[in-house]
Each structure stands twice: as structure tokens, then as C-alpha cells.
Chain A
């Protein structure tokens, strides 16, 4: 009986959170015109969530491409198809690994920092001070971070993909001896810009950017103003973002294929 009740409570609380998050999104969207006045803040946030995430995205992209090249070469050599290594690396990265891994890294690197920053602003009365100075904190604090995440994600995904393919090339061509011309020509012949790059990378990462930024800003804005509250909120950002990214990836792939 109590188990059923606690399960019901979890379900109700989760639905309540999703509902509140949806209402928060409406508040964000409504505040976008007003926040255009604070475009400098959006640019500043773009630097923090985008440019400052470049190193981790580039390094991870490189290693993902390298390990992918190594594994695929090993498998394809069984069938004598090592010349397809570049093609398979590119398709795997463009369609799945690029947007998904970038979004997961973005949630861990930028999402948590956004949540913690807004949570601490709330805990130290900075949000209340803005309200008292007749500055809407949704327009000044939340929307710039939301927009910055939305813009940064597709760009970071592109960087990740480029580094991944470079990593695959490094292993396949420079180390394992696949012909450079074959590597590139097979890849360019098979990869479709519309299906793989626009649908696979840009659309997916744009949606992931919206979702991760929304979750990060929402968690920070609604966190209890205590150190424990901020700690839980950052954890919730990573957990909720990861689940949302992987679930949405399936839905988007099904629609975009």
C-alpha cells in the first residue's frame, strides 16, 4: 500500500516537474523580446557556455573518432572492407555520436555550471535584488543562458564531428595505412548533406540545445536557496538532461529517417 503510494507520489512529482518546466518555457519564450535589450549578456553567456566548452568537445571528439576508426578497421578488415572505414566513421558520427555525445558533454560541462550559477544567484539574493531594481530576472538571467545554449549546441556539434572525422582519419590513414583518397572519396560519396548533416547534426543538436538549456535554467531558477538545494539541482540537471537527450534521440531519429 505504502509502496504504491510512494510510487504514485514519484509519478505525480515527476509530472508536476514536467508541467512546471513547460510553464517555465512559456515564460522564457514570452521574455525573449524583452531580453533582446540584453544582447550583450547573451553574447557573454555564449562565450561561457560555448567557447569555454570547446576544449572538452574537441578533445572528446578526437578520441571518439580515433577509437571508432580503430574498432571499425578491426571489424571491416574481416570482410576486406577497410576502405569503408571513413564512410562508417562519418555516418556514425554525423547521425548519432556527434549530436548525442556533444549534448551529454554539454549537459555535464555547461548545463551544471548554468544551474549552479543561477542557484547561487538565488541563494545570495541577487535574483531578488534584480527584481527590486525593476529588472526582470527571467529576461536578464534566464533567457540569455537559454538562448546561448540553443545557439552553442549546433556549433559545438559541428566542431565535435569535424574532430571525430579527423580522429578517424588519423587512425585509419596515418596509422593503419588506409589510402587517403579512398578514405575521403568513399566518405564524400556516401554522406548526404541533407540527411546526415542537416537532419543528423544540426536539427538534433538544436533540439538537444533547447532541452538541455531549458532543464539547466529551470533547475537553477527553481532550486531551494541552500547549498544542498544547489547540489541537488546540478545533479538533477545532468540526470534529467541525459535521459531527455537519449529518449529524444530515438524519437528524432525515427522521425528524421
Chain B
């Protein structure tokens, strides 16, 4: 296992994962995983369903702790931070949840304003301007007065994105940001992710399955499977690296190192047919 290394402030990697091993319900989700997320870049994490992509984001934000190994974010070992320090770190991280996780008691405006109201003493007029700016960026300024129940899935995701970027964080973690978006919204969200990265230098981590969308924004792709990084590289060339992992994943093939079928007994026996030769 790779020895944990201390991330220095001038380290080019904002997030550094070393030897991360996690066992959940008896299944090894990560097996000594190593990964570097470079500062100011857009990094995509891809992989078959159930390989622990969302779990990895939870490790980065300290929502989960591994059984072994370390996760460093901006020079801090996340598992060793006190709750106060962890909250201080999280104030600089934006997180887009898979299911948006909007607060259902508040309207769209108040959802986006929520982090500002909790952590700042800004005057109301400034909060209003910041919130409307963020909503304008995701194309939903006109929906400010709507309640979360009145939004479609794609709209809710864009509101959640506006909330995630309301503090202009140093790191944004997007968990399946493109699900449920129509082509127009998808294109705008892609542009927004790229703009945030280019203008503010925000480091972004994308967990997604849409290779075409990823190709447009990501600087680097990690493909994880079986608890490890099985391939990594430039989005334009990773699919052509010739490894069986990338061939199966990007080719969408059922056969390959990643089993399509969940482990099960004999199919014919399950259906009640007699076994051959019996």
C-alpha cells in the first residue's frame, strides 16, 4: 500500500487519495485506491454503477470515513479533522446531490440563499443580488418564487447547482449533474461548469456516465472499477487506450472484466428447469 503523503499548500493536487480502503456490508468498495484531483481542473470520475463513485465523494467531504488510507483536501487529512474544522472546510466545498436535496420548506430563492443566511451577516439587498445572479446563471431567475415541489427534476438540479456555487467555492463536487436535463439545459450547465472553472479557477469533480458531455468539459478522467482506478487519462484518448476495462465500459459491452450480472446461482436451476445430465 502506498504510504500516505502530506499534501503541502503548494501541492498541485487539491484532493489526494492514498491507499483508501472501504468495506461496506462485507463488500470491499475501495481496495487501496489512489487518486489525485488537480487544482483548477475539471476531473471526471466514471465507472459502472455500484463501484463507489458517490461513496468516494462522501469520503472527500468527510461524510464517510474509510477503513484504511487517507483523503487529503487542500492539505487537510479529512478523517483527522474535528467537526468544527470539517465544517470550515465544507464551507469552501460545493456539493451537488444526485437527487438535488432541496429544502422542501423553502422556495427556490430561500434554498439558494440558505448558505448565505447561515454563514454570513450580509445585508438583505446583497443576498438578493447574489442569489439572483446565481439563479440567472442556471437560467432560473424567473423561478425564484417557486417551491421545490413545483420544479421538474432538471430544474431542481439546476437550483441545487445554484446553491452549490453560491459561495464560489474552491471545490465543487457534482454527483450525476446531467441526469434529467434537456439538451438546452445540459449545454448551459456544461458551459457553466467550464466558466466557473476558467473564470474563478474552481476545481471540479464530476461523477457522471454521459461520456459525450464529459468529453466537452473534463480535463481528466478516472475510470474506477473493482475498488481501484483501472484507467485514467485525457477524455479524447482514454476510450482508445486498448485496455479491456475501457473497451467494455465505453463500448457498452456486457462481456468483459466488469460483470453485468450480479453474482447469482445457475440460471436454469433458478427457473426450475432440470440440470443437464441429472
Contact = CB atoms under 8 A, between A and B. Distances in A.
Interface of A: 121, 124-126, 128-136, 140
A125 B97 CA distance: 8
Given A124-B104, A126-B103, A128-B63, A134 B97 contact: no
25 contacts: A124-B101, A125-B97, A125-B98, A126-B101, A126-B102, A126-B103, A129-B95, A129-B97, A129-B101, A129-B102, A130-B103, A131-B63, A131-B90, A132-B63, A132-B95, A133-B90, A133-B114, A133-B115, A133-B163, A134-B90, A134-B118, A135-B115, A135-B118, A136-B87, A140-B118
B115 to A, nearest CB: 5
B250 to A, nearest CB: 30
Contacts of B63: 128, 131-132
Contacts of A140: 118
Given A128-B63, A129-B97, A134 B88 contact: yes
B61 interface: yes
Interface in B87-126: 87-88, 90-91, 93, 95, 97-99, 101-104, 114-115, 118-119
Nearest to A136: B87
Nearest to B114: A133
Contacts, number: 46
A131 B88 CA distance: 11
A144 to B, nearest CB: 12
A129 B119 contact: no
A125 B99 CA distance: 8
The residue in B91, B95, B103, B163 that gathers the most chain A C-beta atoms within 10 A of its C-beta is B103
Contacts of B118: 133-135, 140
Nearest to A130: B103
Given A124-B99, A125-B99, A132 B104 contact: no
B88 A129 contact: no
4 A-B pairs with least C-beta separation: A125-B101, A129-B101, A134-B87, A132-B95
B142 to A, nearest CB: 24
Contacts of B119: 134
Contacts of A135: 114-115, 118
B101 A128 contact: yes
A134 B91 contact: yes
